[in-house]
Structure 1
Amino acid sequence: MNRLLRDARFRRILLGDAVSSLGDSMLFLSLAVWTKNLTGSDAAAGLVFLCLNAPGLLAPLLGHVVDRVSRKKLLMGMMAAMAVIVLALLVVRTAQDVWIIYLVAFCYGVLFSTPVFDALLKDLLPARDAAPARSLLVTVQQGLRIVSPAVGVGIYLAFGGWVLAVVDAATFLIAIACLASVKIVESEPEPAAPLRQSLTAGARHLRQLPLLGRLTLMCVIFMAGAGLLESSTFAAIEQGLGFEAAYFSVIMMLQGGGSILGGLLSGRLVTGLGEARASALGYLVCGAGVLLFQVPYWPGYTLGTVLFGAGMPLIFVALGTAQQLYAPARLQGRLGAAIGMLTNGAQTVSNAVGAAIVGFVDFRVTFGIIALAMLTGCVGVLVRPPAVPEIVSSVADSPEPQAAA
């Protein structure tokens, strides 16, 4: 991490990502609150999150585009477009203008479903820096998410959504300036293949590399369990702990604190233990945290929340590191799209199931199912662990292009 922080290029990438993440996190919750205030409808507010998630269905096509063009120019172009699109919120005044909020949310979903940033890291960072870099990125993102939603809602309530839109547009411009200042030697696109073959290349790579496929499968199981957590948490707070629902914000802050700790440690652990054992440790820590949710006293629940937050970065840093190390540079987009579609799809379905069953299934039963999913991930990674494949080098591992950069 110290070596990375001394690298001016990575510092600028980290700053740009942090500023952009801050603007994104401030806006998301505020869009739903804004829609609720305009329409008075919970369903209308919920459609904001549907618009954010729906573009994930386009992930294979977006991944194909990422692997065919300059990733840096694509990312800068998408952020520039979002800086303009988000300003459409300036004309929102009444319930008849809610479609503009939905449009902005959908465009945000397209940006987040395009795995261009992860693909760019393959050409930016040598293999030795894959885990520490992702560790730093996760740590900063989780730290910002502790305060950014509250700051965003505070700006919205104090000054209105129009001010928040301008602030968010400014964060995109800062991120673009940071990225533009970084010289990156990008890998050349491979010869064009038939579209159908190209769209399925990421999924085929998962099948061909048992380690990467196993890590992805266990992460899908993890996300399927984690998706039940959100609905059950409110029931646990009110029925188990006897607190008001507003305590959920405290839970999120505690989880974020645990994620910062886990993020700081994850780079070293993934490098030292390897992706499989590090992710198994992450599942074990998350599972132990969920088991503590069964304790109807706030000290046990608090400790469980911190443990759950600390375990998550290990899981995602291990999977992201394996993706970067064991796939060619010009497959990163399609591979990231395949992994994202599987994991996000599992979480979306799980969220719907959790909302449907929370009214008649005791939260302790749900927590038991979630803990079982976490422990399944731990065992599933460790039992007959697949062989570690050879690292696929990129232009970032070649001294000449990096000297030019």
Structure 2
Amino acid sequence: MTTTWTAAWPLLRDRNARLYLTGVVVSGFGTSALWLASGVWVKDLTGSDGLAALCMLAMWAPTLAGPLLGTLADRTRRKPLLIGANLLLAALLLTLVTVDSPDGVWLLFAVLFVYGAAGVVHDAAESALVATAVQPSLLGDFNGLRMTATEGMKLLAPLAGAGVYAAYGGAGVALLDAVTFVVATGLYACLRVCESKPEVRGGGWRAQTAEGARHLWSHPRLRPLVLAGGTTMLFAGLNGAMAYAVIDGLGHTPAYAGVLYAVQGAGSVAIGLLSGPALRRLGERRFAAYGIALTAAAAGLRAIPSDPVALACSAAIGAGLPCVLIAALTAVQRETPDALLGRTAATANTLVLTPNVVGLAAGAALVELLDVRPLLAVIGLTWLVTALPLLQSPASPSRTATKSPSDANPA
């Protein structure tokens, strides 16, 4: 761990990196709190489990339009776009103080949908701006620490959100989230970056959006990482759908899922701290492949009905699953020209994250039809095979540590 902190120390000394990471912590806290509270809020107002479940769908659905929304980050300056997105969300969240009956639930869903769309634009702009604000050699460390901050907030913020909701209702959580966006706006305003106005090239919005997808598909290093990320998230969805069947096999109540998720989150926090040095040593391809292998093995071993095994597997999944995501994001930042980075990063996010929903849906059907233990073993073995293409031509550590001028790109 000493080596990890020694490697990360130059990043933490970087003013822009500190401001970014603080913004991630602050806004991530509010988002995670709202994520939990919105479903509870709708359930309390309507009594409907289905409507409560739609809250997450409303926030996630705009990801499908990621390539289109990400193009906006390449057509305007990224710093003002980040500031504008945060202020827009803060203003929208204030409207939720009027939601106090089932008749106002439509407004909550509308705000959550815009919340998700603004989040896609925000992530694309941030990914594109980070590379110009953080040293290229430290992008892996930044992405890892960002993962640590995000997962850490997922462990802490839902409890805080539940407490605020119990004391002040959904309006209180909305106000809390609005405040976090205002604070994040101040942090982004303090960033010291020099941006010129992007040149808007011809061809129309659709043609410009397609450029990001073409860049990903034609690039020999990015294509396998993005495909591996999408495949990994497909299997992660299948694996996640088995969670409550696994808990039943252990003889616990569904509430035990909270323990497993907390252990998994701790694993993700740990790998976030280690990812920078690991990327420099292994390269993106091998780092991703080893993470996939660890996650696949843990998913298969969940078939063993043992509490210690279940806890160890949850920690291993938490540590292994983010590896391919961090590797793909870092590679996209390093290998994409700045003018293409916003739409390319957004397209990569869509291609990686969308299969997770397909996996969840397929897993929910399979768990009703088949015995979960052999099913988990098959999923683990099949998942393990997907790591092999990344091991065939591993990137050397020197290629990861020393990059060309195209490194001035974001994650």
- Match for residue 309 of structure 2? 300
How far residue 373 of structure 1 moved from its aligned partner, in angstroms, is 4.8
Q: 1:213 aligned to 2:220? A: no
- Contact 1:328–1:392 (8 Å) recurs in 2: no
Deviations 1:294-335 (A, max 9, x none): 110100010000011111232221111101100111111111
- Alignment pair present for 1:364 and 2:373: yes
Mapping of residues 127-166 of structure 1, within 5 Å: 127-166=136-175
Q: Can you give the 5+ residue segments of structure 1 that lack an aligned partner in the other structure?
A: 398-405
1:65 aligned partner:
72
Q: Distance in 2 between matches of 1:89 and 1:365?
A: 46
Partner of 1:401: none
Instruction: Report the Cα distance in structure 2 between the residues aligned to 1:187 and 1:345, rounded to whole angstroms.
Output: 33
Asked if the contact 1:211–1:385 (Cα under 8 Å) also holds between the matched residues in 2, the reply is no
2:187 maps to which residue?
Answer: 178
- Structure 2 distance, partners of 1:44, 1:369, is 34
Q: 1:225 to 1:369 in 2, by over 3 A?
A: farther
Deviates further, 96-105 or 152-161: 152-161
The aligned counterpart of 1:198 is 208
- 1:235 and 2:218 equivalent? no
How many Å apart are 1:367 and its aligned residue? 2.2
Return closer, same or farther for 1:223/1:91 CA change in 2, 3 Å cut-off.
same
1:118 to 122, 127, 135: 127
Q: Secondary structure at the match of 1:210?
A: coil
Give the 5 Å matches for 1:76-87: 76-87=83-94
User: Would you say 1:281 and 2:328 are equivalent positions?
Assistant: no
Given the superposition, is the C-alpha separation of residues 339 and 369 from structure 1 closer, same or farther in structure 2, using an over 3 Å criterion? farther
The within-5 A match list for 1:250-329 is 250-329=259-338
Q: Distance in 2 between matches of 1:291 and 1:373?
A: 10
1:104 aligns with 2:111: yes
Q: 1:244 to 1:395 in 2, by over 3 A?
A: closer
Deviates more, 1:142-151 or 1:386-395: 386-395
Question: Are 1:393 and 2:405 matched, yes or no?
Answer: yes
Paired letter, 1:152: G
Contact 2:282 2:395 in 1 (8 A): no
User: How far 1:52 moved relative to its partner?
Assistant: 1.1
- The Cα of 1:230 is off from its aligned counterpart by 2.5
When residues 386 and 307 of structure 1 are mapped into structure 2, their CA distance, relative to the original with a 3 A threshold, is closer
Deviates more, 1:205-214 or 1:51-60: 51-60
Please say if residues 336 and 406 of structure 2, whose CA atoms lie closer than 8 Å, have aligned partners that are also in contact.
no
2:55 corresponds to 1:48: yes
Measured at CA, do residues 368 and 116 of structure 1 come closer, stay the same or move farther in structure 2, by a change above 3 Å?
farther
Q: 2:5 maps to which residue?
A: none
User: Is 1:381 the equivalent of 2:393?
Assistant: no
Q: Distance in 1 between matches of 2:18 and 2:136?
A: 18
Determine which of 354, 361, 365 is the counterpart of 2:363: 354
Per the alignment, do residues 150 and 215 of structure 1 end up closer, same or farther by CA in structure 2, a change over 3 Å counting?
A: same
Using a 3 Å threshold, how does the CA distance of structure 1 residues 376 and 189 change in structure 2: closer, same or farther? farther
Tell me the equivalent position of 1:38.
45
The amino acid of 2:23's aligned partner reads G
Q: What letter corresponds to residue 37 of structure 1 in structure 2?
A: D
TM-score norm. by structure 2 comes to 0.92
C-alpha contact 1:188 1:330 (8 A) present in aligned 2: no
1:224 aligns with 2:234: yes
Q: Secondary structure at the match of 1:183?
A: coil
Question: Alpha carbons of 1:189 and 1:365: their partners in 2 closer, same or farther (altered >3 Å)?
Answer: farther
Q: Output the CA distance in 1 between the equivalents of 2:21 and 2:52.
A: 32
Shift, 1:283, TM fit? 0.6
CA distance in 1, matches of 2:378, 2:70: 33
Task: Report Cα offsets for 1:93-126 as digits up to 9, x if no partner.
Answer: 1111111110121011102222111111121122
Separation in 2 of the partners of 1:34 and 1:369?
A: 39
Q: 1:167-205, CA deviations, whole angstroms, 9 ceiling, x for partnerless residues?
A: 111000110111111111125524413123211111111
Does 330-339 or 372-381 show the bigger shift? 372-381
- 1: distance between equivalents of 2:102 and 2:51? 10
What is the aligned-residue RMSD (CA, Å)? 1.9
C-alpha distance in 1 between matches for 2:93 and 2:239: 31
Question: How far did 1:384 drift?
Answer: 4.2
CA distance in 2, matches of 1:41, 1:219: 34
Moved more, 288-297 or 359-368: 359-368
Q: Percent identity?
A: 36
Q: Which amino acid aligns with 1:38?
A: L
Spell out, residue by residue over 1:3-32, the C-alpha distance to the aligned partner (whole angstroms, 9 max, x if none): 011122211111111100010001012101
Alignment map for 1:8-23 (pairs within 5 Å): 8-23=15-30
Paired residues, number: 396
Query: Which whole-Å CA distance do the structure 2 matches of 1:217 and 1:307 have between them?
Result: 22
Residue type of the alignment partner of 2:97: L
Of 223-232 and 319-328, more deviation after overlay is shown by 223-232
> Could you give the per-residue CA deviations for residues 116-161 of structure 1, whole angstroms, max 9, x where no partner exists?
1111112112211111111111111111211211221222123211
Distance 1:230 1:122 in 2: 33
CA deviation string 1:231-272 (max 9, x = no partner): 21011101x110000011111110011111111111110111
